[in-house]
Amino acid sequence: MLRKQSIPLVVGQILCCVFLWSASFAFGQPSGEGATEEATGGAGGGASGLSTDAAVIAKGQEIFTANCQACHAVHEQVVGPKLAKVYERRDVAWLKEFIRYSQKTIESGDEYAVALYEKFNKTPMPNHDFLTDDDIIAILSYIQDETKKGPPAPAAPETEETTADASGATATPVQEGNSTILKIIIIGMAFLLFLVMGVLMLLASTLVKVINKNAKSEDDILENKFTLDSILRSPAFGGMVTFVFLGIIAKFVIEGIITIGVQQGYAPEQPIPFSHKLHAGKYEIECKYCHTGVEKSKNANIPSLNICMNCHNTIRTTSPNIQKIYAHLENDEPIQWVRVHNLPDLAYFNHAQHVKVGGLDCENCHGPIQEMEIVRQSSLLTMGWCIDCHRETNVNAKGNEYYDNLLEMHDAYNREPLKVENIGGLECSKCHY
């Protein structure tokens, strides 16, 4: 039995608990200016329906990289909020609706959606109505997996060996390394030749002295012609110098002829500086996000201004270089980017064939693009370079029924993997009109 004087105390404690619970629930919801992307609580408060299957997570990563990564990261804020534990802040049904139709959700007056809209400069996320329920579940499953892994470890400080130079180079090209080794070999052989010549001259001089010492008459005495003056005046020395001189000239002439049209290392200054090291490297923006035609067209295409504005309508808006983009937009004037990778008009190259069908990465031809402050031509892009690639590259036939019959016939007569050259990769008409 409670004493009568304790009843008011118990009632007061209950009322206080109810008040605190209500207040915590109310303030846990994002509202107005105080909303943050990390706000917890809400309608869902759980990760029900998400998968831990590796295949689903891998699919989610692929979709996230292609459609979300330009504006979002799991463990840090980019253009939009960071997504760690987003499945706890809202339930899956709400997230599906918001991802597909964010503007519609905002216009409906949803408090959480409106708060995000206000916080992130009143810029709505584009609609993703092409994503299926399974696609969104895969994305959220990937986010859940990355959330559990935690943020990545901080990168090691850059050293002189890993810091890119002004042209974006981080390593000496293989061709330059081979050329240096060849020069060292030639210099070494020349040094050995002169050393052998010196030894022969010394030996000849010694033999002359011995013969003269043992000579019985003046007629038997030999004249020592191996003096420095006699050597320099001799026709043999003049011929040798002439031969070396003409050889050096011929070397530079041949190298010059061979490298006509070769622009390896070319890194022009652009009208607006753009760092691939920052965008493709640090922020891991997928190449296909900007170069939209790379999987469906002959050309990868240069990004249009509206692609730049997907991010830079909210990021670094006061930067002088970003202001240049705004000026081009206001004047309806495209940016005159300087082309870096050029092929002669007589050569045909199809990006979709190599990237979509062949499954090649951009780095195969463009080098470590994610490390370049200023884009440079990393590869030779010569006919011989392309032919070598076709001779060495295996056909990516896995999961492609188009190659089934061809693989069967090839494997019946050849134990080596199917190469690009085996499917006509060395035919002239494949690359030349």
Residue 17, classified by CB atoms within 10 Å of its CB into exposed (0-12), middle (13-18) or buried (19+), is exposed
Contact indicator for 334, 305 with CB cutoff of 8 Å: yes
- Terminal alpha carbon distance of the chain: 101
3-state class of 394 per DSSP?
strand
Position 117 scores a pLDDT of: 81
Position 48 scores a pLDDT of: 67
Confirm whether 354 is domain-assigned.
no
Amino acid at 131: L
Nearest C-alpha neighbor of 85 from the set 40, 53, 28: 40
Six-digit token pair at 399? Answer: 């999961």
Confirm whether 417 is domain-assigned.
no
Burial per residue of 336-368, b for 16 or more beta-carbon CB atoms within 10 angstroms, e otherwise: eeeebbeeeeeeeeebbebbeeeebebeebbbb
Q: Which domain range does residue 63 map to?
A: 54-149
- Residue carrying structure tokens 């831990």: 52
Confirm whether 62 is domain-assigned.
yes
Torsion-angle region of 399 (φ positive above 0: left; ψ -120 to 50: alpha; else: beta): left
Task: Identify the DSSP state of 347.
Answer: B
Confirm whether 183 is domain-assigned.
no
Confirm whether 141 is domain-assigned.
yes
d(CA 223, CA 208): 8
Task: Give the contacts of 426 (CB within 8 A, at least 6 positions apart).
Answer: 387, 390, 391
Confirm whether 70 is domain-assigned.
yes
Position 419 scores a pLDDT of: 94
Position 228 scores a pLDDT of: 66
The number of domains in the chain is 1
Confirm whether 109 is domain-assigned.
yes
Position 174 scores a pLDDT of: 42
Confirm whether 189 is domain-assigned.
no
Nearest C-alpha neighbor of 146 from the set 80, 88, 73: 73
- Residue carrying structure tokens 């990168």: 155
Task: Identify the DSSP state of 371.
Answer: G
DSSP string, 138-165: HHHHHHHHHHHH-SPPPPPPP-TTTS--
| Local confidence pLDDT in tens for the 433 residues of the chain | 444 444 444 444 444 444 444 444 333 444 333 344 443 334 333 466 899 999 999 998 888 888 888 788 888 887 788 898 888 888 898 998 999 888 888 889 888 888 888 887 666 788 888 889 998 999 999 999 999 988 877 655 544 443 434 333 333 344 455 567 878 888 888 888 888 877 887 887 788 777 777 776 766 666 666 666 777 777 877 888 899 899 999 989 998 888 888 899 999 999 999 999 999 999 889 999 999 999 999 999 999 998 999 889 888 889 999 999 999 999 999 999 999 999 988 999 999 999 998 999 999 999 999 999 999 999 999 999 999 999 999 998 888 888 889 899 998 988 899 999 999 999 999 999 7
Task: Give the contacts of 339 (CB within 8 A, at least 6 positions apart).
Answer: none
The CATH number covering residue 62 comes to 1.10.760.10
